[in-house]
Amino acid sequence: MLILYSFALVALLVLGAPWWLFRMATSGKYREGLTERLGFLPQRIREALDGRNVVWVHAVSVGEVLAAGRLIDDLGSRLAESAGERAVDRWRVMISTTTRTGQELARRRFGADRVFYFPLDLAWPVRSWLRALRPKLLVLVETEFWPRMLTECRRNAIPVAVVNARISDRSWPRYRRFASMWRPLLRDLAAVLAQTELDADRLRALGAGRVRVAGNLKYDVRAGGSSAITAMLHKFLSPGARVLVCGSTLAGEEEMLLDALPPNIVTVLAPRHPERFGEVAEILKKRAANWVRRSEWAQSPRAIEPGTVFLLDSIGELASIYFLAHAAFVGGSLVPAGGHNPLEAAQFAVPVVMGPSYENFRGIVDKLRERDAIRIVEPGELKAALPAMLSGSEESRAIGARAREVFEREAGATERAVRALLELVISPLSNPAIQRRSQQEAQT
């Protein structure tokens, strides 16, 4: 199966080579990190290793980097405490991402010397990184299963743990169809910390071992409301202006939102993908809307009056801007894309509106719905739902307050995950990979 998988992946790369070459020639997005994906380590990474023990954390994109941020910090601190003054026991947590936006955020958050692109799932790139890092543990954030990486880790007795593990409604049929392929790859996982009981059941059905429910790391993401851009916006907002933050919007949603906006509010419009910033700017131009682009406004700030659309063309600033919101719309939900994370707004007691497509965050949304702490609407209901949530009525304030209660009550997944990971790298007896290696050595 692994040979067939590798052959199919190579064939896909070869057949798609003309498209990839064109994209690399026309966009830096596709050139960046290519050598790292092919297995070549940059000098900054080699210098950062410095003979240290390594825990490798893979977080695909922005959402996973944000979710794992506190876990990475806490894990690094606890590993340093365990080492004490013993130089031989020094640790370094290294972070890989797949997307460019995730890479940019991770480098800002953790430093470029600890962050790199995840290798292509082929033998040479994977083996090259494993030889160089020699990780004591590979940690996958959410469900980022790559057959070659899992196989090479097993062959080299490197334990693999999965944190914040989930299998979405959309992904489940595909995983289930190939369950026979996943079973031998997942049965030796050292630890699988699932978000919900449903996720745990699905992972067990695929053959994953050592599965337990630990909760969702995203309940522990605490975005401060004191970032530079948030402070600037707060200073220049017209007194008394009501603010609607529309976060992580996808193609097709901006037009629906602009059609439904109540008059005399300030709207912060934050497209999910940077490559769409220009596209959304064109939409605003064609509508002759009163709008301003964050990148231009920050160079010469001026008052933001009601009726203004503020285009947030940046990465990593949305979470703190929810602090200014009187209501929020969370995107990826009016179109069939599975939705995005409503907790970024819920932590500030902001009442949230989402569309009917939220399967990627079903566990979170279901908990909010159980407490009447969110509003799920069809596109045609936006025009009534947005003013109601922005009104500041007793009902809208109560919705926001209940959302924050859910956010606070569900916290704690990070600490549970850190403890589980420490057991794998500090206590050899609890490390299945080390047990297998010891058995192999005893047999020889």
Using CA atoms, how far apart are residues 433 and 189, in angstroms rounded to an integer? 9
Using CA atoms, how far apart are residues 29 and 33, in angstroms rounded to an integer? 9
> What is the pTM for the complete model shown?
0.84
What are the two backbone dihedrals, phi and then psi, of residue 362, each rounded to the nearest 5 degrees? -60, -45
Based on the domain organization, do 353 and 262 belong to the same domain?
Answer: yes
Based on the domain organization, do 115 and 256 belong to the same domain?
Answer: no
Here the CATH number for the domain that contains residue 190 is 3.40.50.11720
Q: What angle do CA 32, 38, 42 make, to 5 degrees?
A: 65
Q: Is the Cβ–Cβ distance between 37 and 121 less than 8 Å? A: no
Question: How confident is residue 4, by pLDDT bands cut at 50, 70 and 90?
Answer: confident
Average predicted confidence (pLDDT) for the chain: 90
More confident residue, 313 or 434: 313
Question: Is residue 20, in this structure, part of any structural domain at all?
Answer: no
Based on the domain organization, do 62 and 211 belong to the same domain?
Answer: yes
Question: Is residue 8, in this structure, part of any structural domain at all?
Answer: no
- Domains of the chain: total: 2
Q: Is the Cβ–Cβ distance between 314 and 332 less than 8 Å? A: no
Q: Count CB neighbours of 365 within 10 A.
A: 23
Based on the domain organization, do 374 and 242 belong to the same domain?
Answer: yes
Based on the domain organization, do 159 and 190 belong to the same domain?
Answer: yes
Based on the domain organization, do 383 and 417 belong to the same domain?
Answer: no
Domain that includes residue 132, residue range: 32-215+412-435
Using CA atoms, how far apart are residues 159 and 92, in angstroms rounded to an integer? 16
In this predicted model, what pLDDT tens digit does every residue of 223-245 receive, in sequence order?
A: 766 688 899 999 999 999 999 99
Based on the domain organization, do 191 and 204 belong to the same domain?
Answer: yes
Here the CATH number for the domain that contains residue 356 is 3.40.50.2000
Question: Is residue 244, in this structure, part of any structural domain at all?
Answer: yes
Based on the domain organization, do 119 and 170 belong to the same domain?
Answer: yes
Question: Is residue 380, in this structure, part of any structural domain at all?
Answer: yes
In this predicted model, what pLDDT tens digit does every residue of 112-161 receive, in sequence order?
A: 999 999 999 999 999 999 999 999 999 999 988 999 999 999 999 999 99
Based on the domain organization, do 187 and 57 belong to the same domain?
Answer: yes
Based on the domain organization, do 382 and 240 belong to the same domain?
Answer: yes
Q: What's residue 316's pLDDT?
A: 85
Using the 8-state DSSP alphabet, how is residue 336 labeled? T
Question: Is residue 300, in this structure, part of any structural domain at all?
Answer: yes
Based on the domain organization, do 245 and 203 belong to the same domain?
Answer: no
Element (H, E) at 228: helix 228-236
